[in-house]
Amino acid sequence: MPRSLRTALAVILLVLAGQRRAAAAITLDANFDSGSLKSYTVAGDTVRLVGRDSYAGSGNNLGEGHWRWLYFKASGVQGLTPTFSIEGPFASDATPGPHELSQHEMVYSYDGANWSFFPGANNTLLNTGDSNPANDLFTFRASAPFTQNDVYVAYALPYPYSRTVAHTQAVLDSPWAAPTASASAGGVIGQSPAGVDDLGRSIPALDLFAYRITNPATDGAAPKRKAMIVAGQHAAETLGLYTFEGLVDWLASDDPRAAALRDKAEVFCYPTLNASGRFAGLTRAMLQWPNTDSNGYWHPGPSGNDYNSPQRTEQQLNAEAMRADNASTPAGLDLFVDFHSSVPDWEITGPNGWGPDGRDDWGYITNNAASLNNPWWLAFRALQPNILQVNSGTGPTSRTSTGFALNTSYGLGAAMSVTFENQFAISRPVAYYHELGKNAGLAMYQAWIRTSNPQPGDFDEDGDVDGGDLAAWTLGHGQPRPAAHYHGDANGDGDVNGADYLIWQRQYAVGTSTAVPEPRAAALAGLPLLALLASRYARRRSLCAA
């Protein structure tokens, strides 16, 4: 054999040997925030996963072998395209239809923050024996070799407890957010109890948070519209947490419409209804009660079926904080929204659904005229037309979060309560859920603040022409075409410029003590002068936030 051929063959054999060693060296770990995996084995290029048995509702009880939430880190995978397989019954719900993994795509990430979907074309879903779901086998793999040594793999976009902590701290740094009346200076209303999970891992006590978003300078002027938003009730329903995050980010943003909403509304936020279950990587339950659904115990005791007999610490802390915070400001609660996620429900479809077979996200709405015609809900569906509606018989006697929100004796007395569900198995990026949350906030603005025929200089469209509109114009100056009215375009020409400022100046409220420069002088002085005027107004708005 020629030397060159022997050399080439040796190289090929070395590469193959290296690949075999790499495949054998693949290791998995789920011992981190929200991680979940019972065990695994590696055989060649196949990684066999054993899903973690956990309570998932709909007859999926602890000890019966059903798995759902899956989240781990695989190491030693660079240059490889392993096939992951998982056996046993998936923890589906009770609704009829195809297998709930039939359209599902798992996700992977190199940094735990930026996620991609394993392509569904590479999935297989088999029953290896008979009709018994215990014999199901689901496999998935990437389309190309992994480019880094470590990769995170999950059932769906993870939202670990640590992300809530970081997000809460960032929100509280805003002048528009502050701890609620029931919380400490750090926004903490208490801690979940520490404990040991079913895998023997020690789970620490975790802070539970509550904060209020509004313009504090306008407190006391008149009773404000009031909303409460909550998330994380079920540990693995992570998409709802991203929607919650998008809503909060918009509420605290520089958007002139958000500023107008903050002037006349307040939103109480509770992102940690079940911090322990999320940190422990459970599916639906809390660490303290791993074989029950805590969304059936929103009721003070003692009655034997409530949150304090026997005690459900996280639920009790959140519920009592909500009641105290609701009572800390005047006026009633206009809106309560509980953000969840759901496995595919093949019976909840519609012609406007963007997902496969018309499936899409939906809201459970109390089946009465007031809820069905609620201005916020109508505005939200107009902004987000793919949202589906499910009429619910749940009322104020229910021990769910909706019942607690609606109940006037021991609950919150809300005028409207919505349980909002993001469907899994539609393979959407985080940006979709953030935009969805933003539209939930815009719907509050449209339903509660926006006037139908605003003056051209009323850029935030709240019914008057004031310094808030100058702030909107300053923020929007130079906005790429086509600019909208709320950006500061008073004359509808698609630009935000001095002509729009002149219209605002002419309509500015009579009697202001702030000197407003003439357009020519403003042009000579440059934008910094106008920015100064706008910032003075903003500081006046946030006087109480200092």
Q: To the nearest 5 percent, what fractions of the chain are helix, strand and coil?
A: 35, 20, 50
In the chain, what are the domains?
21-154 (2.60.40.3120), 176-448 (3.40.630.10), 467-545 (no CATH)
Q: Give the pLDDT of residue 2.
A: 59
Cα of first residue to Cα of last residue in the chain, in angstroms, is: 83
C-alpha dihedral over 373, 375, 379, 381, to 10 degrees? -30
Q: How many other CB atoms sit within 10 Å of the CB of residue 435?
A: 17
* Alpha-carbon span 541 to 535, nearest angstrom: 10
Query: How does pLDDT run along the chain (546 residues), one tens digit per residue?
Result: 555 555 545 444 444 444 444 445 899 999 999 999 999 999 988 999 999 998 999 889 998 989 999 999 999 999 999 999 999 899 988 888 889 999 999 999 999 999 999 999 999 999 877 778 888 899 999 999 999 999 999 999 999 999 999 999 999 999 999 999 999 999 999 999 999 999 999 999 999 999 999 999 999 979 999 999 999 999 999 999 999 999 999 999 999 999 999 999 999 999 999 999 999 999 999 999 999 998 999 999 888 789 998 899 999 999 999 999 999 999 999 999 999 999 999 999 999 999 999 999 999 999 999 999 999 999 999 999 999 999 998 899 999 999 999 999 999 999 999 999 999 999 999 999 999 999 999 999 999 999 999 999 999 999 999 999 999 999 999 888 899 999 999 999 999 999 999 999 999 855 454 555 554 444 434 454 455 455 545 544 544 444
> Which residue spans within 343-461 are E strands per DSSP?
362-366, 388-392, 417-423
The amino acid that residue 460 corresponds to is D
Q: Which residues of 517-534 are buried (b: 16+ CB within 10 A; e: fewer)?
A: eeeeebeeeeeeebeebb
DSSP-assigned states of every residue in 31-78: -STT-B--EEEEETTEEEEEPPP---BTTB-TTS--B---EEEEES-B
**C-alpha angle with apex 271: 270 to 273, nearest 5 degrees?**
80
